[in-house]
């Protein structure tokens, strides 16, 4: 049937139908291709036809695009004209990169294939254009990536390497020169075994790598070009081919020689520190803020009857003092509050490693964090029991000696007052009687007797003054306050130095013999020192009882002195005044503070505890 229809259609009509069918197929192919295709007149450069891909690429409608010329879409007119010439000669021209522009002015890269065809007796240029923007971006990113890799490879501090399973060095970053003293070029192709200080370790390394697939922080000892050993920390992993067979080792390493040297030095230092601390006779403990033991030296460990590891975590006062609460006057508690080094003399009756009552000179050193807050402490406790007992014995002996001295003074004072002074008074009376009963004696004899009576009177006064100084009788008769008041008045008259004595809280206060005589001697010694050395015109003395202490203050307006220099030269200058006062204060279990500056006078502040009886304390 179809054949009959064809036979009935004239041949010219068949040709026309065939052409139409061919053009339709061309048009389908033309618009289906994803690359832009454009046809333009070889002479005028006017566009004849473009496919849909070209319209999408350049952003034009078909009727607008066909009004353009080739020069309207190129961003490089001169280069485009140069490329068209060989095309007109019948050559197929391929242009890898050219820049075109879209309707909105966007410049973008394209790849072009161009050739010449004859269409209806005229030369037509056919150009196939492909947008290569993404490819160029990818190429740019690849170049940047390669450049970054090159920069990293050349400047990385760690050494990047690639080594064959057999040990052949395939790649090394330039930083290897810093470690090995070899250049990268010298090492590539060489055997890694030559770099090992102990080549057998290479096999152990590979064995571990084959077992685990990778190793991290693996320490190796390599040798550099000069034969010096270098410690290196190595990261490595296996690189396998498509069949899963290991073909090379890749990884990085860095020099840890300094770190190892520091660690070795630190270990040696720790060993020396431990040896020194263990050799110390003091008990040394390192505790946290809760006073739990972190570390203790051998002396402390031995005293605890425990092993070092058993001590760790135990509370110091429970182990060494047998207490459930911290010790009284604990320096660690104070150091935790103040953040300073604290010290205490502590008495313990049941300290580990001692019998009976013991005394400890204890220091606490705070260890602070970055914020300056104490978070751990060093406790140093030295047994000073023998020293304290010796000092107590010396103090007791000194007190007894002073009591004996006062007793001797009292006896001598009584002997001078009751005997020598009385006998001198009798001799004086006899002399006066001779003068009054023998008026006819020769004048020269009377003058001699009168002179003798005068000298005897002065001797009586001197003996009574000496007796008073040795042991003022008024101390027993009138008490301390009246005696000191009278003494200050007499001292003022005799020396010309005005003395203001003011007691407070001493009324009805019955002091024991030792306290009374020592307070009297302190005032006596203080005024004597002022008279000898101060060149003062005025002295103020304050004696105050404020439970639980008695306070004595002596101030003068004299020339003063450098306290530190004076105390340092006490022995050299053989001045016993300050030392004698300090010794008496210690006998009273008190403290003495001395303040003075040249031309600023001197202040002596004495405070000691006293057990007041009920009803004695009155202001």
Q: Residue 60: what pLDDT?
A: 94
> Residue 268 domain-assigned?
no
- Would the pTM of this model clear 0.75, i.e. be above it? no
| Claim to verify: residue 467 and residue 485 sit in the same structural domain | no
271 part of a folded domain: no
- Tell me if 266 is assigned to some domain: no
Whether residue 497 lies inside any domain: the answer is yes
CA distances from 336 to 290, 343, 362, 524 (A): 10, 13, 15, 44
For 391-416, give the secondary structure using H, E and C: HHHHHHHHHHHHHHHHHHHHHHHHHH
CATH number at residue 191: 3.30.450.20
Is 483 found in the same domain as 465? no
Q: Are residues 493 and 432 in the same domain?
A: no
Is residue 423 located within the same domain as residue 548? no
Q: How far apart are CA 613 and CA 240, in angstroms?
A: 97
CA dihedral 17, 21, 26, 31 (to 10 degrees): 120
Number of folded domains that form the chain: 6
Same domain, 16 and 85: no
Q: Can you give the residue range of the structural domain that contains 301?
A: 281-383
Q: Are residues 249 and 330 in the same domain?
A: no
Regions of the chain where pLDDT drops below 50? 1-9, 13-17, 615-619
CATH of the domain at 580: 3.30.565.10
**Domain end residue (candidates: 421, 438, 471):** 471
3-state SS, residue 462 = helix
Structural domain contains residue 269: no
Contact 416, 461 (CB under 8 A): no
Q: Examine residue 274 and state whether it is found in any structural domain, yes or no.
A: no
Q: Are residues 483 and 618 in the same domain?
A: yes
One domain, residues 67 and 177: no
Backbone angles phi, psi at 237, to 5 degrees: -145, 155
Give the integer Cα–Cα distance in Å for 518 and 587: 9
Do residues 230 and 249 both lie within one domain?
A: yes
Task: Give me the pLDDT at residue 571, please.
Answer: 53
- The domain boundary, picked from 102, 137, 172, lies at 137
**pLDDT for res 573:** 56
Q: Are residues 235 and 215 in the same domain?
A: yes
CA-to-CA distance for 7 and 1, rounded, in angstroms? 10
**275, part of any domain:** no
Q: Quick one: which of 474, 615, 484 has its CA closest to 552? A: 484
Q: What's the confidence (pLDDT) of residue 492?
A: 92
The Cα–Cα gap between 117 and 123 comes to 6
Residue 393 falls within a domain, yes or no?
Answer: no
Distance of alpha carbon 6 from alpha carbon 451, whole angstroms: 189
Alpha-carbon span 310 to 437, nearest angstrom: 102
Same domain assignment for residues 514 and 466: no
Close Cβ partners of 5 (under 8 Å, ≥ 6 residues apart): none
Q: Are residue 610 and residue 521 in the same domain, yes or no? A: yes
Q: Write down the pLDDT at residue 22.
A: 54
């Amino acid at each position: 049937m179809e054949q009959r229809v064809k036979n009935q259609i004239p041949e010219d009509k068949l040709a026309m139908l065939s052409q139409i069918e061919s053009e339709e197929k061309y048009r389908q192919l033309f618009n289906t291709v994803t690359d832009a295709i454009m046809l333009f007149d070889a002479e005028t450069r006017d566009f004849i036809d473009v496919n849909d891909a070209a319209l999408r690429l350049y952003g034009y409608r078909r009727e607008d695009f066909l009004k353009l010329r080739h020069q309207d879409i190129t961003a490089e007119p001169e280069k485009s004209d140069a490329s068209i010439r060989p095309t007109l000669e019948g050559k197929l021209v391929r242009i890898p990169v050219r820049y075109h522009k879209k309707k909105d002015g966007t410049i973008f890269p394209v790849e072009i294939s161009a050739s010449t065809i004859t269409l209806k007796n005229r030369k037509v240029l056919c150009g196939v254009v492909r947008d290569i923007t993404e490819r160029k971006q990818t190429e740019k990113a690849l170049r940047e990536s390669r450049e970054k890799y090159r920069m990293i490879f050349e400047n990385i501090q760690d050494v990047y390497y690639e080594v064959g399973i057999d040990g052949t060095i395939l790649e090394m970053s330039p930083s290897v020169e810093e470690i090995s003293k070899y250049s990268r070029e010298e090492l590539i192709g060489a055997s890694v075994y030559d770099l090992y200080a102990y080549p057998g370790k290479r096999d152990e390394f590979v064995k571990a790598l084959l077992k685990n697939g990778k190793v991290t922080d693996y320490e190796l000892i390599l040798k550099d070009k000069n034969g010096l050993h270098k410690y290196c920390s190595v990261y490595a992993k296996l690189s396998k081919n498509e069949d899963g067979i290991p073909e090379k080792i890749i990884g990085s390493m860095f020099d840890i020689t300094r770190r190892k040297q520091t660690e070795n030095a630190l270990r040696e230092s720790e060993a020396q520190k431990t040896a020194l601390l263990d050799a110390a006779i003091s008990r040394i403990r390192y505790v946290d803020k809760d006073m739990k033991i972190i570390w203790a030296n051998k002396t402390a460990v031995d005293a605890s009857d425990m092993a070092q590891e058993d001590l760790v975590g135990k509370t110091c006062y429970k182990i060494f003092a047998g207490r459930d609460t911290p010790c009284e006057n604990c320096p660690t508690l104070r150091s935790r509050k103040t953040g300073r080094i604290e010290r205490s003399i502590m008495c313990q009756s049941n300290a580990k490693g001692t019998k009976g009552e013991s005394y400890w000179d204890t220091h606490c050193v705070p260890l602070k964090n970055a914020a300056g807050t104490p978070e751990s402490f060093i406790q140093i406790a030295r047994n000073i029991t023998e020293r304290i007992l010796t000092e107590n014995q010396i103090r007791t002996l000194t007190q007894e000696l002073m009591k004996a001295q006062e007793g001797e003074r009292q006896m001598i004072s009584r002997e001078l007052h009751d005997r020598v002074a009385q006998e001198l008074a009798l001799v004086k009376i006899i002399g006066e009687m001779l003068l009054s009963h023998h008026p006819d004696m020769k004048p020269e004899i009377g003058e001699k007797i009168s002179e003798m009576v005068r000298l005897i009177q002065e001797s009586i006064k001197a003996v009574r003054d000496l007796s008073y100084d040795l042991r003022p009788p008024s101390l027993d008769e009138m008490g301390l306050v009246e005696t000191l008041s009278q003494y200050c008045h007499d001292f003022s008259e005799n020396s010309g130095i005005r003395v203001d004595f003011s007691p407070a809280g001493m009324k009805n206060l019955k002091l024991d013999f030792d306290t009374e005589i020592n307070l009297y001697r302190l005032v006596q010694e203080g005024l004597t020192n002022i008279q000898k050395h101060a060149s003062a015109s005025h002295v103020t003395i304050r004696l105050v009882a404020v439970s639980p202490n008695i306070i004595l203050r002596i101030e003068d307006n004299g020339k003063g002195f450098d306290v530190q220099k004076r105390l340092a030269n006490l022995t050299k200058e053989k001045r016993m005044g300050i030392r004698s006062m300090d010794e008496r204060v210690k006998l009273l279990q008190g403290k003495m503070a001395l303040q003075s500056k040249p031309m600023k006078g001197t202040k002596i502040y004495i405070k000691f505890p006293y057990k007041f009886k009920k009803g004695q304390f009155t202001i």
